[in-house]
């Protein structure tokens, strides 16, 4: 069975499901199947499919970045190399499944013989997943897709991008800051590109007391695919050791309880 056959759209929707969900209902939308309660079932179905398809994924890292980056750009080549190194280290690579940086991430993973995952989104201007994806899941709703991009990753590597990339960066930082997800590495690739943003965060947000100094520790800047690989692999190894210690503690607790 072709994992990607339902993702090769020839006719992109002019109105997305997110637009329909967030639009104010009209009188003409009286039918239950056009109403928000019905959409809840579709949203639930997307969560179920995503959880089912990715449940056995194993250690993975999510790569973010611009869909507009061309194949001949240095950022594209750096993404391919980073993904290759991560895949050779035994990590699955997850992207949004589109072109540009996303394609480069999937390409590097696939060419290295690793597992390449693409989580696509229904957009008027997207053409389906790129050809380097092994496991493809398509979503109508951005927030469902973003949940999957976060849930199955042990690290984020964020390459230069636009509004969507910034959204993913700051949402991930907020989730960690507020304790909604476990702390893990967020690596920004490209010091020249990201340096100005981080300077503004430090000199404006921090200076006005709207974040704490510890919040800046959530981010690492890098220009080296090898350094990114080392940061991510170390974090995944620490996480595995923590899981093993927690499981040993649970076994000891069960054994002590059984001996009572």
The domain spanning residue 191 has which CATH number? 3.40.50.450
Residues in the chain, pLDDT under 70 = 1-15, 17-18, 20-34, 125-127, 239-260
pLDDT at res. 36: 74
Q: How are the residues of the chain apportioned to helix, strand and coil, as percentages rounded to the nearest 5?
A: 50, 10, 35
How many independent structural domains does the chain possess? 1
* Residues 91, 71: Cα–Cα separation, whole Å: 23
The H or E element containing residue 92 is strand 92-95
| Residue 123 included in any domain | yes
Residue 24 domain flag: no
Structural domain contains residue 110 = yes
Q: What is the pLDDT of residue 38?
A: 81
Element (H, E) at 121: strand 116-121
Which structural domain, as residue segments, surrounds residue 131? 5-9+59-255
Residue 17 lies in a domain: no
């Amino acid at each position: 069975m072709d994992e990607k056959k339902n993702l090769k759209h020839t006719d992109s929707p002019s109105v997305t499901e997110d637009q329909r969900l967030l639009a104010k209902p009209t009188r003409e939308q009286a039918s239950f199947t056009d109403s928000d309660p019905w959409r809840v079932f579709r949203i639930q179905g997307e969560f179920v499919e995503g959880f089912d398809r990715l449940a056995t994924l194993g250690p993975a890292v999510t790569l973010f970045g611009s869909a507009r980056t061309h194949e001949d750009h240095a950022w594209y080549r750096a993404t391919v190399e980073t993904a290759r190194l991560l895949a050779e280290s035994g990590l699955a690579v997850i992207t949004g499944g589109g072109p540009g940086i996303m394609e480069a991430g999937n390409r590097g993973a696939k060419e290295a013989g690793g597992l390449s995952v693409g989580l696509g989104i229904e957009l008027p201007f997207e053409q389906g997943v790129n050809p380097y994806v092994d496991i493809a899941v398509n979503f109508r709703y951005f927030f469902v897709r973003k949940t999957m991009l976060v849930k199955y990753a042990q690290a984020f590597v964020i390459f230069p991008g636009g509004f969507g990339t910034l959204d993913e960066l700051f949402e991930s930082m907020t989730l960690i800051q507020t304790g909604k997800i476990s702390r893990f590495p967020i690596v920004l690739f490209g010091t020249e590109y990201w340096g100005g943003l981080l300077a503004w965060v430090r000199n404006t947000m921090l200076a006005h007391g709207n974040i704490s100094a510890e919040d800046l520790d959530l981010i690492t800047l890098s220009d080296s695919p090898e350094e990114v690989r080392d940061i991510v692999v170390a974090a995944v190894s620490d996480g595995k050791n923590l899981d093993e210690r927690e499981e040993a503690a649970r076994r000891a607790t069960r054994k002590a309880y059984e001996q009572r």
